[in-house]
Homo-oligomer: A and B are copies of this chain.
Amino acid sequence: MATTAKAALLERFERVILEPRRLDYRVQFPGPTGTNAVEAALKLARKVTGRTLVVSFTNGYHGMTLGSLAATGNRGKRSGAGQPLSGTVALPYDGYLGPSVDTLQLIERLLEDPSSGLDLPAAFLVETVQAEGGVRVASTSWLRGLERLARRHGALLIVDDIQVGCGRTGTFFSFEEAGLRPDLVCLSKSISGYGLPMALVLLRPELDLWKPGEHNGTFRGNNLAFLAATEALSFWETDELQRQVLAHGALIAERLAALARCLPSAEVRGRGMIQGLVCGELAQPISRAAFERGLIIETAGPKDEVLKVLPPLTIGKAELCEGLDLLEDAVQAVGRG
């Protein structure tokens, strides 16, 4: 009993996104916001594998409802649950223990040792770029290694592409560069293009073990959002948006690198149009100074130590430069202060 709007969206998603990338997924509408997608993916992963534990990562962010909150790293948000969170364990993300430690080796050691205390997991839940966690970028080799590890131990790979999917890193999915084939993918935010709440879970067809009504909800299908999302997908009929995101991303990275050189022990990291200026205690004053100048730029990271540059994907070059000028101005004002 699907509506025409829903059918149109599914058709375009198949034709414009999945087919050209030779991806074969079913599309589930799990509820209108990102956390609904994560919850649905976690439920399905546990149900399919018959295992309970989900491995998430240090500094990961996946949502505020009980299941996704358990996979979120932030202690302040976790304590909001008012009860112990269970069913998850956070292992070190790529680079978490410094450049000399390969965290995948640690994870592998724990998985292969039958007395490590780590139960075999139902899934790994990962962001290829940890946005809220401070714009931390996983390397393609680490991501590929994680996928291999998951396969070898019978665990599913879930990519939470809610913040950095839908073109943010240049390609539609953030994991295209690494060539991953995740078992489940969570999308939301930009998917509906114009700010209408919508979220998707993509699932490999053989994982679709939902019984009728086993995961339902009111606002899973919202016709207005379907229309907006269908329209937004038209950007992906050509490669123009992708080229523009990469060009604008390079521009942002370059400008931030110049700013970083003016600040003590600052650093730039990111992919495409998500770029972070890691600048410690200066991040919050710079964010405020930018706001005073008419620019909204949020901080991220466990101690709000990163300025997260995340402009609309469709921004024009002139407007982008204006924003970066305002940011530069704010940085200089704080530097002087």
A217 at the interface (CB under 8 A from B): yes
In the complex, chain B residues whose CB is within 8 Å of the CB of A59:
113, 115-117
Task: Describe A's contact surface by its main secondary structure.
Answer: loop
In the complex, chain B residues whose CB is within 8 Å of the CB of A195:
222-224
Would you give the shortest CB distance from A195 to chain B, in whole angstroms?
Answer: 7
Copies of this chain assembled into the complex: 4
Contact A76/B46 with A64-B217, A223-B195 known, Cβ cut-off 8 Å: no
In the complex, chain B residues whose CB is within 8 Å of the CB of A116:
58-59, 73, 75, 90, 302
Contact A75/B222 with A35-B31, A81-B43 known, Cβ cut-off 8 Å: no
In the complex, chain B residues whose CB is within 8 Å of the CB of A87:
83-84, 86
Of all chain B residues, the one with the shortest Cβ separation from A92 is B106
A244 at the interface (CB under 8 A from B): no
A133 at the interface (CB under 8 A from B): yes
User: In the complex, A82→B57 CA distance in Å?
Assistant: 21
Q: Are A77 and B35 in contact (CB under 8 A)?
A: no
Contact A90/B118 with A46-B83, A65-B39 known, Cβ cut-off 8 Å: yes
Q: Are B80 and A215 in contact (CB under 8 A)?
A: yes
Of all chain B residues, the one with the shortest Cβ separation from A45 is B82
The 9 closest A-B pairs by CB, nearest first: A90-B117, A46-B82, A66-B67, A115-B302, A73-B117, A47-B82, A65-B65, A197-B219, A66-B66
* A-B contact list, 20 entries, CB within 8 Å: A32-B197, A40-B64, A43-B80, A47-B79, A48-B82, A52-B82, A73-B117, A75-B114, A82-B122, A85-B119, A86-B87, A90-B116, A92-B110, A101-B101, A115-B133, A115-B301, A188-B218, A196-B222, A197-B197, A197-B222
Residues of A within 8 A of B (CB): 30-36, 39-40, 42-48, 50, 52-53, 56-60, 63-68, 70-90, 92, 96-97, 101, 105-106, 109-110, 113-120, 122, 133, 162, 188-189, 195-197, 210-211, 213-219, 222-225, 301-303
